[in-house]
Structure 1
Amino acid sequence: MAKLIPSLNSCLSKMTSGEKRFARRLEALLEDDYLCWFDIPLGTKRRYPDFIILHPARGILFLEVKDWKASSIKRVSHAEFDLETSSGRKTVSNPIEQARQCSYQVLQVLERDPQLKQVMGKYKGKLCFPYGYGAVFANITRNQIDKGIPEEYRHKLLPGHLLICQDEMSDSVTAEEFQERLWGMFNYQFGNKLTLPQIDRIRWHLFPEIRIASAQENLFGGEEGGEGAPEASLAESMPGIVKIMDIQQEQLARSLGDGHRVVHGVAGSGKTLILGYRCLYLAEALNKPILVLCFNITLAARLRSFIAEKGINDKAQVYHFHDWCGEQLRAYHVDLIDTDAPVWERQVFSVIDAVEKGHIPKGQYGAVLIDEGHDFEAEWLTLISQMVDPETDSLLLLYDDAQSIYKRKSSLGFSLSSVGIKAQGRTTILRLNYRNTREILTFAYQLAKNYFSRNSDSEIPLIEPEAAGKSGVEPYVKCVGTLEEEIEYAVRCLKAWNNKGKAWKDMAVLYPGGSAGKLMAAVLKRERIPYAWLASSEYKKRYDPNSESVSIMPIPSSKGLEFDTVIILDASYQSSQQGEADVDLAGDVRRMYVGLTRAQEQLLVSHHRRNQLSELLVGHGSNRVASNSQG
């Protein structure tokens, strides 16, 4: 079955009857390796081809689907059709010409990419895969076309090989017959089978909104039709390796639909990517502002950077939860409740009280998106769910039980419906981890799996992550005598990696707590290595992921972030005082799991203490020494 993006169920409401029938034919009659996109905009002029079909061996095809009746067509030319409608006669584009123009715009962009060109032979420099375009007449038969247009004009106005008619997409048509019609729309057959990286590059060009890397040039920029920057400079500016959403992530992001939605995903499954895409989509669709909330101050700074890069910071407001509470109190001139509780708790209580009394209005936002939902208390979510405009009723909650490190249990502990989130039947589970290598993910999960709570009453079960496929070097566990020795070794590694070409901004030093961060920052300063020590809330708010410096931060502040290379410093540090009867080992291990899973490619874990946590690290890391991970 072909993969339709968005999913068929999510876009039925905006499809015509002909588009629905054609989409069902695509799903039923094409194999699993076909990708089909429906009604997704391309380019700066936001052209919307009805369907784009991509196959590794066949190539790319652009199709327009029309529900016209034969009796409504009054005139046909190469460029236009005259149609009789309920509101009178109107002139529209010839669907063949419409599809051709759309394909022409896209092909001009794809032809600029050296990795999508043929490198030898007669067609050297041309695209390395076939392409075509055509039209689908869902309510007109082939016989009606033949009778309605004289043969001497038909090939020029509506070439028969570029059409699929009503009788050629019926339930009686076989897969072979249907596919033969589709691929008969290609004027040329050439090239080798597209590789997965080449397919990703095509998607990267077609849909800039699913790109992962920041500050990349939008190759649809400039004038349509290929004008703009010189081809040579465009080719030079293209990345050798592109990063985009996986097909599953893209399909989910485009298929979320309206109402309340929940995404429960493992670490590294792309939850924050999906949130970012959802922001882009809603920014175009809504008039009211969008509220994006998370628990982590550093992640809020990263999300603000993303929103600014995408040019929608005037439509989306990003806060960590307590900062948003403070902003609400200031905006509506509400005084803090006078209690002995900490200020941040009083802010929350004050906002809840003011909303109940009507001093702070409900329904302020067209949509609310919540990242790190596993760290939110029930009363917080109850408050936030009231902030959604009832007319749009758009709410997205993303969370992962395994990354809950601010609670005694790693499960929500309450039902979503009890806090006003109406997501029954609208929950998606993401099991695949795309961030970490298999070696890093295996190490992290095997270390922590016995310390995740499995609450049988939980509305959504704890899920085990699955590696998406890439492999790398084994994590390296280093045991030394003192924290100073840990720091000395870590600095040697940072220098060695930088000398080999790794950027400072791609490396991070994370620590569970204590003085490790302060000491590390002092040594990096002495060694004149650029760094950003995110120790206070003010520094966290100013976090810039594009700054060319090593990030130093407590593990909790790293949630939602990722780095090519991570050092976990003072890994055997435990938050509870040594000797206490109630040492929260489970909490320490879950926190360590968050830190370990920030590493995309390379992971160094160092420790010097002897305790339960170090025994776990040694037990799981003793056979994971990799010489090429050492500085």
Structure 2
Amino acid sequence: MAYMVPEVIRTSAAAGERLLFRTLEEYLPSDYMVYYEPEIEGRRLDFVIIGPDLGLVVLDVKDYTPAALLQVDHDQWQLHGAAGRVEIVRNPYNEARDNARFVAQQLKQDEQLIQPAGKLRGQLKFPCGCGTVFTRLKQADFIKYDLYEAIAREFVLCRDEVDPEDAAFSADVLIEKIHAMFTVWSSSRYYLTTADIRAIRQHLFAEARISAEFRQPADDQDQLLLSLRHIKTTDSYAENRDGQSGDDQRKRRGAVGCGNAAKLAGRARTLAKQYPDWKLLVLCRDAARSLTLEQTIEQLMNEPEDLLDLIRLEEQKAGAAVASNIEVFGFYEWLRAVLNARVTDIPVLIGKLDQHEAILPTYDAILIDNVQDFEPEWLKLLGLVLNPELQGNPLAGDRAQTNSLRGRSRILSMNYRNTAQIAQFAWDFYQRHSALQDTVRSGSVDGVDIIPPYSTHRKGPEPVIARCDRFTDEIKRVCERIAFLHNEKSISYADMAILYRVKDNYQFSYVDTIRRALTEAGMPYYWVTENEDAKKRLERAHDSIKISTIDGAKELDFRAVFVVNVDSMPFPLEAAEEKEVSLFYIALTRALDWLYVSYSGESKFTAYLDEVLEQRSRKGKASKKMG
């Protein structure tokens, strides 16, 4: 799948543009970038495609129908317009050609992208082409109306060439035609490097204008719980029950909400009932989200856990079911209503609190929804309004257990899915690479200690890290491991998954290699993220190994997970590395019992995994000496 900017096309886009967007995303290689409606120096283009072996291609999209065509030539086209009027427009190819020349002119200003010497000195190192896409005209229409006389065939893509549902569609032909949309050819082909692509993005397409800053999707990270007190860990049954009851309540009562709201509400409910004397604060970024959380918490608090709880609820007055010790706010709303302050006042408040010159309300625990949306300064303020009194014993494994806990808080991520070994392995990686963690020293955010997620009971084998010489070797070892788990450990194929970050690149198809190896090994598989309909048809009970992108496996878990081709992460086209960190963390935590991670190249993440392998090796040697 190509890397799309923006990730989702606007809903008001024409049907043909939406079709082309989906087709380019699905069928172009994963190391291709596609920009939709980029604005360059005041000029807005339809689509721009960038690929290592392609160069750059500008596409102009038209939704003309055969009935709209009146007269066409190399310069102008006459069309039947609205209210029967005749409209005269430029030949779409000429428009696309001028746009491509404009883009090339802008890029030539960068010395990194031009030929430094020779006859082509000052020219771009890579080709810059153009083409036209007619989303409502088929090739038969172009032949019938002699439209290829006005635009050469190699610069045209028709409906049946971009619509996967058309019988004439071919992904190979589509890619070949895009590669042919150039007027100037060179005997020596230049391949764009990652640095080249980064330079193109920087000079032409400001991501800040299109997708602002990275905002982690809600499911990419658990909510965070801040508290100075020792919190008794709830059992997995209670945690699951809280989340499920939230889902059931929404189905029955029709309340607005989402899975993450139910999870956070479940945690708030558990704490409120387990510690009725605590003052709890639930925060999210915006007020609209806080209403969802408040409604969900109210529903859960009205859901009895047992007979005694049912009697208690019936005795309460109507409307008083929500525990009075829970406050739910959007952060800005909380600042205004509780602290009588604005965001700009936060530095002053922090300074006064540090100097004990201000008295603010205190809380025994603060639950934060989508903590990645909170600025470090906000977290520091929240840490200062936690109640420092009556601190309990530190949790096992807390790095700060030998230090005074006064004035400090913990971030606790409850984890019941994974074994302790998998959870620790994933969290160690996250702590090293997350931008949230990197803003502070030794895993703390302005005095907030980071406590790894852990499982209180479940233990298992250490995650396997496998460095291989090539990707085919990775998959061979994966198949061997799958056979072992299936035959020796009686793990069904349905309980195993192979996760990948990118499907392919312009040279190689990772997914095809995986599928071919599984077929040769006689192992059944199901490609979950093959297309839009594949995941809808997913049946977990079906006895097959699941193949999926990491993103497509967010809501799934398996007893054994194989994360392959880790050297493709962090994905160089992804501007927000924090998203890549979260994706890899997600991949690791899809595994319930067995985790296998493999790679055959170099990247920032594989360098870290190499370190872990070296540490394990040293530890193993030391153990042998002691033995």
Q: Same fold (TM over 0.5)?
A: no
TM-score by length of 2: 0.38
